[in-house]
Structure 1
Amino acid sequence: MMEASREVGVVVRRRSIDNPWIDQVWSPAMILDDVPAAAPWTVLSTDADATTYYAGPASIDLFSSDTANYRDNLADGTPRIWVALRRQHGGAELELTKVTADPTEGEALFESGCEVIGTVPMPPEIAAWIAAFVDQFHVERVFHKRKRDRASGDRPRVPGDRPDEGRR
C-alpha cells in the first residue's frame, strides 16, 4: 500500500452565542496549504462576537486503498476537508485530533466522540496534490457479486428445517 502525507495549518473560529446552556461555539474555519511559523492557538483576528485562531499544524494522510473516496470528494465540485477537535482532559482547551480528505473517514468522525467536527473548503493546492495521488495510485476495483452457498444442495432452506435431522 502506498502512502503520502502533507502538513497543513488549521484555522478555527470561536463564536459567542446567546444560549442558556452554552456561551460559545467552535468550528473549523479554513485549512492553510502551508504551516505558518505562528505558535498553536495564536489569535489571528477578533471582532464583536468571534475570535479566529491558528489551531496548529496537522497532517493529511493519503492511502492508496482509499483513492476512490478521494476521487469522489474531488468530483463533488466543492471538495472538503474534515477537521476534528476534542477538549483536553475535560478542560476548556481544544486539541486538534484529525484532519482528513476522505469523506468516509470524515463521516465516521461524527461517531468518534470528538466535540468539534466540521468541514472546510479544500484549498486548490491540496486538491491538486490529492488529484495527483489518485491519478498515480487509483486502481478501479470490479465489484464481484458473491453467489450464495446453499446449505442443503439446491433445496432452499425452510424455517425450522435443520440440516442435521434426517428426512423420513
Structure 2
Amino acid sequence: MSEAALPSELTIPVAILAERRPGVTIWQSHVWRALAVLEEAPPVPAWTRLREENGREVFFAGTAEVKLHRTDTPNYKDNLEAAEPRIWVVLRDTPEGMSIQAVTVDPGEAEIYTEGPSDLIEALPLPPGLAVLLASFVATHHVEREFHKRKRDRQDIDSLGRKGRV
C-alpha cells in the first residue's frame, strides 16, 4: 500500500498467542499472559491449544484489530522512536473464560487499561510488518505541533476586590 493510499483511519488484523502456566501462589491455580502477536492467523479456531510442555500451555487466542487514527500519530511516533517499539495486548478474564479485550500500538491507550482490575496487559515486540505499516501511517498523517507556552495575564489589582492602599 503506498503512502498516498493510506486512509486517515486504518484497521489492521493481527493474531494473538497466549500462554497459561501454573500459578505460584495458593490463590491462583494458573496464570495467563499474552505471548506473541502474529501478522497472520494460523488456520485453527480461537483458543485452540497449540503446545503443552512442563505444565505450560500455548493457545492461539484468536484475532483482533489494531486501529490507527491520524489524531494519535504523536503517540505512534513516540512508540516507533523507542529503543524497542511495542504492541500492547489486553486479555480479560470473564465468566465465560479468557478473552482478547484490545490490541494497541498507542502507549497512552495501553496505559488506560492498566486501571482495570481484571485486565492483563502485556507489552510485546512490535512485529516487523506492522512496524513498517505504522511508520508509513505516521509519515503520511503526522503533523508536528509547535509547543506554545501559555503566558499568564497580569491581574488587575482592582479586579481582585481589594482597594489600593493609600
- Number of residue-to-residue matches in the alignment: 159
Q: Supply the RMSD in Å over aligned alpha carbons.
A: 2.0
Q: Secondary structure at the match of 1:111?
A: coil
Residue 92 of structure 1, CA deviation? 6.0
- Distance, in Å, in 2 between the alignment partners of 1:78 and 1:49 is 30
Q: Give TM-score scaled by structure 1 length.
A: 0.86
Provide the residue aligned with 1:58 in structure 2. Answer: 64
Q: Which AA in structure 1 matches 2:132?
A: A
Q: Give TM-score scaled by structure 2 length.
A: 0.87
Q: Secondary structure at the match of 1:98?
A: strand
Q: Secondary structure at the match of 2:50?
A: strand
Give matches, 1:1-168, under 5 Å: 2-88=8-94, 91=95, 93-150=97-154, 152-153=155-156, 155=157, 163-167=160-164
The 3 A distance-change label for structure 1 pair 24 and 162 is farther
Tell me, which stretches of 5 or more residues in structure 2 are unaligned? 1-6
Residue 166 of structure 1, CA deviation? 4.3
The 3 A distance-change label for structure 1 pair 86 and 73 is same
Residue 37 of structure 1, CA deviation? 2.7
Residue 162 of structure 1, CA deviation? 7.8
- Distance, in Å, in 1 between the alignment partners of 2:60 and 2:160 is 65
Q: Which AA in structure 1 matches 2:137?
A: F
Deviations 1:65-112 (A, max 9, x none): 111211111111211111111122xx2611111100011111221013
- Identical-pair percentage: 37
